[in-house]
Amino acid sequence: MLRVRQIQQATSVLDFLDSFAPMPIRIARIGKHRALPADFEKVPFEQYLYVDNLFQGYLNTQQDELLLQMAQILYGSDHVKPSKAHLVGIFYWMASLKQYFASLFTNFYKPAPAKGEGNLLGSSQPDIYSQLRESTNAMIRALTGGDITKEERILKMDTWRALTELDAKAKEAEELRKAYKKP
């Protein structure tokens, strides 16, 4: 017969499942396919945007097909065959990456107000695909300054460089907003 203390000790090794790693972690290989850098450093912004949109879609729909599409990008092959465990690993990788970016780029990644429990992170958003498209377009526009001739260069830019610039722009916008609110 097991005692309560024994059960508590045995389950304590699974505590990591209720939080995300402070640094992004990932499964380095699936079969012969190597993963992108865990922290997305030196990864084109375009790839980050694509993966982030798939991740946000997954949070709202819980469709494994979206995790499979993420695996194909993250592991650089349409032929990657992730197991269910790999798909869970991909979810944890992206969740830990988003948490990591939120800690680094605090002006850009501000928590959205919660309005319900419609997805895995507890927020409800109608028509998620329109919202994702608008969000992506806003990020690209902020980086190009409205000059569409710069778009291709922006999309090829390093993810960290793009997020650093978006964070600075968010900080400037907040400072302007505060300055105009004062009497």
Report the predicted TM-score, pTM, of the whole model to 2 decimal places. Answer: 0.79
The pLDDT of residue 1 is above 70: no
Predicted pLDDT at 120: 47
The residue ranking higher by pLDDT, 74 or 136, is 74
Predicted pLDDT at 48: 97
Contact 66, 57 (CB under 8 A): yes
The pLDDT of residue 152 is above 80: yes
Place of tokens 């850009």: 108
Q: Percent of the chain beyond pLDDT 90?
A: 64
Lowest mean pLDDT segment, chosen from 57-71, 150-164, 169-183: 169-183
The pLDDT of residue 137 is above 80: yes
d(CA 37, CA 24) in angstroms, rounded, equals 9
Predicted pLDDT at 126: 54
Q: Which two tokens stand for residue 157?
A: 């830019």
Q: Which two tokens stand for residue 81?
A: 């065959």
| Alpha carbon separation from 17 to 22, 71, 78 (Å, rounded) | 13, 20, 29
Residues 6+ apart with CB under 8 A from 156: 44, 45, 46
Contact 24, 38 (CB under 8 A): yes
